[in-house]
Amino acid sequence: MLRDILGKFHNEFLKASDTELKGNDFANYARNDASEIVQQTIMRPDLKVTVSIGQGNWAEIPWIGIFNPEVTTTATNGIYVVYLFSSDLNKVYLCQGQGVTSVKEEFGKGQAEELKRRADLIRSRVPEYHQYHFSGTGIKLNGKSSLAKSYDPAVAYFKAYDLTQIPQNDELEADLHAILNLYDLLVARGGTDNIETFTSFAADHDTSEIQETRQYVRHSRIERNTAASKKVKNILGHICMGCGFDFKRIYGDHGKDYIEAHHLTPLHMLPEGKAVSMNPEDDFAVLCANCHRMVHRKQPMLSLDELRNLKGVKMLRNAFNQKKAKQSS
C-alpha cells in the first residue's frame, strides 16, 4: 500500500543513508518493491514509475516519479507527477513537477524564474487543480544542494502529508488518481509548450490553427516516444502511406527506419485527459514529414484517403512506384 511505502521512507531512509548505498536492503526495496506497488496502485500501463534514492551516493531529496513517456521518462526534463520527500523525511509532497536539470542547463542563474514561469503556465492550463484541493504555492523541502533548492519553484501544485501522521490509504490513493487525471489534462493541453507562440510564426498567422498545432505538437511528442513509435513502424513499415516516399531509398542509411507515426483519429475527438488504448495497426498510419504536416494543416484534419486522393500526392506516389519498378527490373 502507498501508506506503507511512505511510512517505510519516513522510518528507514535516514538510517539507511548512513550506510553504503550499494546492496542496501532499503535501497533494493525502494527501487523494486516500492516501484512495483505504485505501478499496481495506479493501474496505468501507459505510465512509468521510477523511485530515486540516489546514484552512487544517497539523495538529499528522495522521490517517487510517475512519467508519461509521451512527454518524458526522466526527471531531468519535461513534466511528471512526483512524491518529493523533505530533507528531514518528516513530510512528503505529492506534486505536479517539472524537470529542473534541462532548465538549469539552458537558463543558468535564471533557472528559478523560468521554473516559476512554467509552473504558472501549468496552473493556468489546468485550473481544475483547485477542485481537488491541491495548493499552488508553499512547498519547502529544506534542501541544501542547488538541485534540491530548485525543486521548490518547479512545483506547480501539490498536496503535503505529515509523515508522522500519515493519512489512510484510501485518501492517499484518491489524491494520487486525482493528480494523475490532472496530469493527463495537462499533457492533452500542451504541458509547458508555448504552442500559441509557435503558431504565431506560421506563414498566415491564423490563430484559429492553435488547436491543430497543439495536436501536431502532441503527435511529435508521441513520435519521440520510442516504444510507441517502434510498435507502429514495425507493423506498418517505413514508407509513407500518403505519397509513397521512402527515406532510405532517397537518403540511404541516413534515412533508414525514419518515418512519422500519425493518429488516424484526431486527438480532439478522444476524451480529454483520458488514457485510450490504441492498436498500432488499426489506429495509426505512417507518413513522411510533409504529408504529416499537411494532414494537420487545417481543420478538419485530412483523412488518409483524402490525402492520398490529392492530385499532387497521387503524382508523387505514381512517380515513386514507377522508380521502384524500374529499380526492381
CATH number at residue 112: 3.30.920.90
Instruction: Evaluate if residue 59 carries a pLDDT over 90.
Output: yes
How many structural domains does the chain have? Answer: 2
What pLDDT shows up at residue 196? Answer: 44
Instruction: Evaluate if residue 50 carries a pLDDT over 80.
Output: yes
* Range(s) of the domain holding residue 149: 2-188
d(CA 316, CA 310): 10
pTM greater than 0.75 (yes/no): no
Average pLDDT, stretch 44-66? Answer: 94
202 in a structural domain? no
Question: Do 225 and 323 belong together in one domain?
Answer: yes
197 in a structural domain? no
198 in a structural domain? no
Question: Do 224 and 180 belong together in one domain?
Answer: no
Question: Do 77 and 7 belong together in one domain?
Answer: yes
Question: Do 229 and 109 belong together in one domain?
Answer: no
What pLDDT shows up at residue 209? Answer: 47
d(CA 9, CA 34): 10
- The grid coordinates of residue 21 equal 548505498
196 in a structural domain? no
Range in 118-132, 270-284, 305-319 the model is least confident about: 270-284
Q: Within 10 Å of residue 271's Cβ, how many Cβ atoms?
A: 9
Question: Do 51 and 183 belong together in one domain?
Answer: yes
Average pLDDT, stretch 162-170? Answer: 96
Of the candidates 225, 281, 280, which has an alpha carbon nearest to the alpha carbon of residue 47? 225
- HSE of 267 in the Cβ direction (CA atoms, 13 Å)? 25
- The CA angle 61-183-142, to the nearest 5 degrees, is 20
As a whole-number percent, the residues of the chain with pLDDT over 70 amount to 84
Question: Do 319 and 213 belong together in one domain?
Answer: yes
Question: Do 171 and 23 belong together in one domain?
Answer: yes
Question: Do 217 and 255 belong together in one domain?
Answer: yes
Distance of CA 303 to the CA centre of its chain: 27
Roughly how many angstroms between the first and final C-alpha of the chain, as a whole number? 65
**DSSP three-state, residue 228:** helix
Between 55 and 213, name the one with better pLDDT: 55
d(CA 119, CA 84): 16
- Bridge partners, 96 (sequence order): 81, 157
State the chain's mean pLDDT as an integer. 86
As a whole-number percent, the residues of the chain with pLDDT over 90 amount to 57
Q: Which of 188, 217, 248 is the last residue of a domain?
A: 188
d(CA 282, CA 245): 21
Query: Are the C-beta atoms of residues 39 and 64 closer than 8 Å to each other?
Result: no
What pLDDT shows up at residue 56? Answer: 87
d(CA 162, CA 178): 19
- The grid coordinates of residue 320 equal 515513386
**DSSP three-state, residue 325:** helix
Q: How confident is the model at residue 329 (pLDDT cuts 50, 70, 90)?
A: low
What pLDDT shows up at residue 197? Answer: 40
Of the candidates 124, 123, 165, 158, which has an alpha carbon nearest to the alpha carbon of residue 138? 158
Range in 18-32, 34-48, 248-262 the model is least confident about: 248-262
Question: Do 149 and 38 belong together in one domain?
Answer: yes
What pLDDT shows up at residue 69? Answer: 85
Query: Are the C-beta atoms of residues 216 and 208 closer than 8 Å to each other?
Result: no
